[in-house]
Each structure stands twice: as C-alpha cells, then as structure tokens.
Amino acid sequence: MNPLIILSVGFIIFLLSGIRIIFEYKRALKFRFGKYVSTLKPGFRWIIPLVETIQIVDIRVITINIDSQEVMTSDNVPCSIDGVVFFKIDNPEKAVLEVEEYKFAIMQLAQAALRDVCGKVELDTILSKREEIGKNIKHIVEKETEAWGIVIIDVKIKDIQLPENMRRMMANQAEAERSRRARVILALAEKEAAENLLAAGELIDKSPSAIKLRLYQTLANIAAEKNSTILFPFPEEVLPRNKKGD
C-alpha cells in the first residue's frame, strides 16, 4: 500500500479525532498535558489529540435533592426533613479547579445546614415558616460555594415527616381548635339574634297594629301545616253591644 495514502488516512483520523462540538448551555475547560489552558466557548472546536483534553461543565440551573435528614427540633420533637437546592455555575474554572465533585459537596453542605437550622427552632416554626427556613439554609450554603464560582439560587423544604403519635396529637389539636371556633361563632350568632329580637320587640311594642299583624302572620304560618288546631283569641271590643248598653 502506498505510504502516502496511509499517512493521509492517518492525518485525517488525527484531525477528526480532535473535533469537539460544544453546546450553547455548556462550557469546556481545556487542559494541555494536565494543565489548565483556557475555557472553550460554544460552537465547533478542535483540540490536539493525545495532548489536550477537555472537561465539560453545564452552566444551566441544576437541581439536587437534599436527602431526608433526621432532625431533633429545639422543643425535642423528632422529624425527618428533606428539600431541594437550585444552583448555577457562574465560574466554570473555579467549579472544576477549586472543588472535587461540586454537586456532592453542595449536597453535603445543604444537609449539614438543614440539620443545623432546623435543630435550632421549634416544630411549629418549621411547619409554618418553610420559606424562611429555606432562606437561612441558602445563606449558609452560599457563603461556602461563593469561592467555588457557584451561585445558590434557592433552597426549598419539600417534605416534613412526623412520628405517627405526633400526627395524631396535631390532628386532635386542630379538631379541638375548630370546635372552639364553632362554639364562639355560635355564641356570637345567638348574641346577635337576641339583640335583634330585643330591638324588634321594642319596635313592635310601640304600635298595637304591628302586634296584631305579627300575630296574624304567625297564625298564617301555623295554618300552612294543616295539622294543628288553632285557638284564635277573639277580642271582646268587636262583640256587638245591646241597645240598653249592657
């Protein structure tokens, strides 16, 4: 075989093996003999085979879960809490050169921060102020990751698992609270109804005709049922009188 053809084929393979395509949402760190050289932008790129290597870094928003952590709150209530961290790589060079496996490091930081923050507050605070707890965790984590060129966008508390007996106690407490509110509302309604009846009675007492109209209305309501005997009080003043004035 012609040596020129062999060299040509080998050279073409050499050229093709150095071709790299970098997507818009990624960056590539180029190393030459293991030493960092530059960061390659998106597009068609070529590196020297066997001499240069690249490491791809995704610069989109990345989401990692915070595994469920056993936490003892300040009021001595055991619970399991998990969450999620949203972060983005702002400086690919630092993210690769300053820390090994930045995702694992962020997850460990978030777990430690979650246990630390939730262990200092009461259970009611965790249940009612999840947003505030997430912000406190974010503040702790981002102080460490700032030196790694990583921006923590947000930290959310996803789920809080309580012991079965604690859930029953909270359900009983909620039921008792609803019952108390119902009694208060009923009492207020009775008070309001009594005040309205008193005002109506005072108004009716000022007019005898109003009393009679109210009586007739009540009799009409009773008669509508057609299952009762009504004794109608007949006023004496409407009875006919004899001519002698008896």
Residues 149 and 93 in one domain: yes
Residues 67 and 156 in one domain: yes
Summarize pLDDT for 160-177 with one digit per residue, the tens. Answer: 888 777 667 667 777 787
In angstroms, the Cα distances linking 137 to 20, 81, 107, 142 are: 39, 13, 12, 9
CATH of the domain at 112: 3.30.479.30
> What's at 158, amino acid-wise?
K
Residues 156 and 172 in one domain: no
Which tokens in the block code for residue 56? 């791809």
The backbone torsions φ and ψ at residue 180, rounded to the nearest 5 degrees and listed phi first, read -65, -45
In a domain, 246, yes or no: no
In a domain, 235, yes or no: no
The answer to whether the beta carbons of residues 155 and 137 sit under 8 Å apart is yes
Q: Is 78 helix (H, G, I), strand (E, B) or coil?
A: strand
In a domain, 28, yes or no: yes
Residues 15 and 28 in one domain: yes
**pLDDT at residue 36 above 70?**
yes
In a domain, 83, yes or no: yes
**pLDDT at residue 241 above 70?**
no
Residues 104 and 140 in one domain: yes
pLDDT at 198: 80
Residues 74 and 118 in one domain: yes
Residues 143 and 197 in one domain: no
In a domain, 53, yes or no: yes
Q: Which domain holds residue 154?
A: 62-162
Over residues 71-75, the mean pLDDT reads 86
Domain count, the chain: 3
The beta strands (E) that lie in 24-89 are given as 26-32, 35-40, 43-46, 52-58, 62-72, 78-89
Of 114, 130, 162, the position where a domain reaches its end is: 162
Residues 44 and 69 in one domain: no
**pLDDT at residue 239 above 50?**
no
Residue 42 DSSP class:
S
In a domain, 77, yes or no: yes
Summarize pLDDT for 93-108 with one digit per residue, the tens. Answer: 999 998 988 999 999 9
In a domain, 236, yes or no: no
Residue with tokens 């004794």: 231
Residues 68 and 156 in one domain: yes
Residues 51 and 100 in one domain: no
The beta strands (E) that lie in 73-175 are given as 78-89, 150-161
Residues 79 and 149 in one domain: yes
Residues 201 and 146 in one domain: no
Over residues 208-236, the mean pLDDT reads 65
In a domain, 245, yes or no: no
Summarize pLDDT for 116-138 with one digit per residue, the tens. Answer: 999 898 888 888 888 999 999 99
Q: How confident is the model at residue 229 (pLDDT cuts 50, 70, 90)?
A: low
